[in-house]
């Protein structure tokens, strides 16, 4: 996806050019592109008059930011102890089979990114999978298929 500098400028104008608006501006840019493109970070640095190293430090410090292209749908599987002993590894394997990627990867069509986390704090619901912030508890392989197929079907309807 090509970075539209006018779109970046509009986001910056909307949030303000003061340094205190750096994080909200970066979040808005990430919501637009699903990651922080280098060209966008450079433009933020220039317009906000914040050194590029400082923009980079903020972007790399917070887990909410990604400097690598991510999918439209973020799939997260909890690997905490409670989820692990209830089959979280099988969930990761099944998600990988369905969307064709491993943890930390993004599908070639940029529709899905698969992540694992150490704990989601929902131990009683384990194993847990989260898609775009929606929690799915007591998961198993067949439920993974059903959940992900819903997201794939939405994409097909939107384009087809």
Nearest to 129 by CA among 148, 102, 110, 111: 148
Intervals of CATH 3.40.30.10 along the chain: 73-159
For every residue of 19-88, DSSP letters joined together read GGGHHHHHHHHHHHHSS--HHHHHHHHHHHT--HHHHHHHHHHSTT--SS---SEEEEEE-SHHHHHTTH
Instruction: Residue count of the chain, please give it.
Output: 160
Paired with 74 in beta bridges are: 113
Paired with 135 in beta bridges are: 130
Judged against a pLDDT cut of 90, whether residue 107 lies above it is answered with yes
Q: What is the pLDDT of residues 29-52, one digit of tens each?
A: 999 998 999 999 999 999 999 999
Mean of all residue pLDDT scores within the chain: 92
Q: What is the pLDDT of residues 64-79, one digit of tens each?
A: 899 999 999 999 999 9
Instruction: Report the distance separating Cα 126 and Cα 75, nearest Å.
Output: 15
Q: What is the pLDDT of residues 78-106, one digit of tens each?
A: 999 999 999 999 999 999 999 999 999 99
Confidence of residue 63 (pLDDT cuts 50, 70, 90): confident
The span from the first CA to the last CA of the chain, in angstroms, equals: 21
Instruction: Report the distance separating Cα 53 and Cα 155, nearest Å.
Output: 37
Provide mean pLDDT across the span 114-123: 93
Q: Which fold has domain 73-159?
A: Glutaredoxin (3.40.30)
Would you state the structure tokens that stand for residue 8, as one six-digit string? 């970046």
């Amino acid at each position: 996806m090509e970075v539209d500098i006018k779109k970046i400028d509009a986001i910056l104008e909307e949030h303000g050019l003061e340094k205190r608006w750096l994080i909200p501006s970066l979040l808005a840019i990430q919501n637009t592109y699903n990651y922080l493109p280098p060209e966008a970070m450079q433009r933020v640095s220039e317009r906000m008059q914040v050194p590029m190293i400082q923009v980079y430090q903020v972007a790399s410090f917070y887990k909410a930011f990604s400097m690598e292209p991510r999918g439209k749908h973020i799939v997260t599987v909890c690997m905490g102890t409670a989820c692990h002993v209830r089959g979280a590894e099988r969930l990761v394997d099944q998600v990988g089979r369905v969307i064709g990627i491993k943890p930390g990867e993004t599908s070639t069509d940029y529709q899905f990114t698969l992540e694992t986390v150490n704990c989601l704090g929902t131990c009683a619901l384990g194993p847990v999978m989260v898609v775009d912030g929606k929690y799915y508890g007591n998961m198993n392989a067949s439920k993974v298929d059903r959940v992900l197929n819903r997201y794939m079907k939405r994409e097909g309807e939107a384009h087809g």
